[in-house]
């Protein structure tokens, strides 16, 4: 008996690099939680979404730099790297 592999949630993140708003596109419409973390791992934005195929998230107030966008939902977690210009 091994450790079960966790499934990844598939999502799109555009534009990347971003300047003002990122658009997250999902394959399903289940409720999700989105977190944006800076390079130190500190959560700088957290959004709970009741479910949709698309989310628009403002990032214009974030300092220029690299971020990790984490999406959780339905028992899955997935990360993408985002560059804020």
What domains can you pick out in the chain, each with its CATH number? Answer: 11-84 (2.60.40.1930)
pLDDT score of 77 more than 60:
yes
The pLDDT value recorded for residue 2 is 44
pLDDT score of 1 more than 50:
no
At 38, give phi and psi (nearest 5°): -80, -175
The pLDDT value recorded for residue 53 is 86
Those residues whose C-beta lies under 8 Å from the C-beta of residue 32, and which sit 6 or more positions away, are: 9, 26, 48, 49, 51, 55, 71, 72, 73
pLDDT 10s digits, 20-62: 999 999 887 788 999 999 999 999 999 998 877 899 999 999 9
Instruction: Spell out where 1-85 has E strands.
Output: 11-14, 21-26, 32-37, 43-49, 54-58, 65-73, 76-84
**Residue 27 has what DSSP assignment?**
S
The pLDDT value recorded for residue 50 is 87
């Amino acid at each position: 008996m091994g450790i079960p592999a966790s499934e990844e949630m598939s999502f799109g993140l555009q534009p990347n690099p971003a300047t003002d708003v990122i658009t997250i596109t999902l394959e399903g419409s289940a409720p999700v939680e989105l977190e944006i973390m800076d390079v130190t791992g500190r959560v700088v934005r957290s959004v709970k979404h009741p479910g949709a195929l698309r989310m628009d998230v403002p990032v214009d107030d974030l300092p220029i730099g690299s971020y990790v966008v984490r999406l959780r939902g339905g028992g899955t977690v997935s990360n993408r790297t985002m560059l804020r210009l």
